[in-house]
Structure 1
């Protein structure tokens, strides 16, 4: 996936959840933050951030914050980017080499999963699968963690994926690590133990738990390699 019109700036502060003040060309500008998480370890005063400039006069802000540099890591923090990247990855054979059908935002039970796919190998019977995607921006000492804030919605998704398995579907949760350079992924029990417990329960029920890292540039993000998942 690719962004147009990327510029850089210096982060100053985040007065509201979706609003930041960034120094761009010597002038303070209000920018839209495309991430619902806390991101306190990323958005520190003085860090270099990357913004997409918009030409839509109807927008309240002229810029969207989509990336940040954390020491030697370049991190995409656009909450919409993981779904777009996974959509591309699935069509390229990320899970099934042969894709017969792919639908985004597919309803199941009381949830709406990010993707429904039907596919397999050319010589095998096709399989139906629900796929849930979670973006990961929290990194500590080479380990990626999720979530960075309590997520009851995430717990519900895990329970629904277990139900999918019980009804004969395949089920996947894919943690998209929006950076390159981590060596493993772990559930963040310190922040939300219930999510970690439910993730472990889902894995025990047969839900496929995957973590993938990404190749990141200032204006692109592409899924690259699987990263080991450590649940205990």
Structure 2
């Protein structure tokens, strides 16, 4: 995934989940934040960030916040990009060979999973979660309670019971990490549900990404503690 019109900027503050105050080209501007997670460990005053600039009269802000440095580590925080990254990767044969169908935003009962995939006679549902929380090489999800995430896991379990294959893929939006695990301290129910559905046959995978100021792509698989 490649972004256009990326510019460096400086983070100042985040009045709410959706906007940030930034400094760019010597001016103070309001920027849209494409991630409703907390991101407190790297969105700190003075942090170097990268924003995408838009020229549109219909937008409330001119910029989208795409990534930020946490010390020397660049973290992509665009929660809307993870599905695009996974779709590109699937199309390149990253997880399955000889895919005959990739259907994004596929309805299943009361949910929409991120992808429905067919490989020969195999019928597969995939849910994708972006990960930006890291501590000493350990990456964790979620960084805020997510009842929606628990619901998705439970319905992936139902997919298994009905004869489908099911995957939850955690896209780690940074590189050079050691291991992934559920953030039990933040949301115990999510961690417990992830363990249960894994035992029932849901595939739990995590992949780190190569992140640059204007791109992000799947890099390599990361060990998962379930």
The RMSD of aligned alpha carbons is 0.7
Counterpart position of 1:45:
45
Q: CA deviation at 1:16?
A: 1.5
- Tell me whether 1:167 sits opposite 2:167 in the alignment: no
Counterpart position of 1:136:
131
Counterpart position of 1:207:
202
Residues 9-158 of structure 1 mapped to structure 2, 5 A cutoff: 9-119=9-119, 125-158=120-153
Q: CA deviation at 1:126?
A: 2.5
Counterpart position of 1:198:
193
CA distance in 2, matches of 1:95, 1:223: 11
Q: CA deviation at 1:145?
A: 0.4
Alignment gaps of 5+ in structure 2: none
Matched residue count:
226
CA distance in 2, matches of 1:229, 1:140: 15
TM-score by length of 1: 0.96
Counterpart position of 1:122:
none
SS of the residue aligned with 1:215?
strand
- Tell me whether 1:189 sits opposite 2:184 in the alignment: yes
Q: CA deviation at 1:223?
A: 0.4
Point out 4+ residue stretches in structure 1 off by more than 2 angstroms: none
Q: CA deviation at 1:94?
A: 2.0
CA distance in 1, matches of 2:115, 2:40: 30
TM-score by length of 2: 0.99
CA distance in 2, matches of 1:185, 1:115: 22
CA distance in 1, matches of 2:42, 2:81: 17
**CA displacement, residues 7-51 of structure 1 (integer Å, 9 cap, x when unaligned):** 011100001211000011111100000001011112100100100
CA distance in 1, matches of 2:106, 2:30: 35
CA distance in 2, matches of 1:65, 1:41: 16
Counterpart position of 2:220:
225
Counterpart position of 1:178:
173
CA distance in 1, matches of 2:49, 2:221: 26
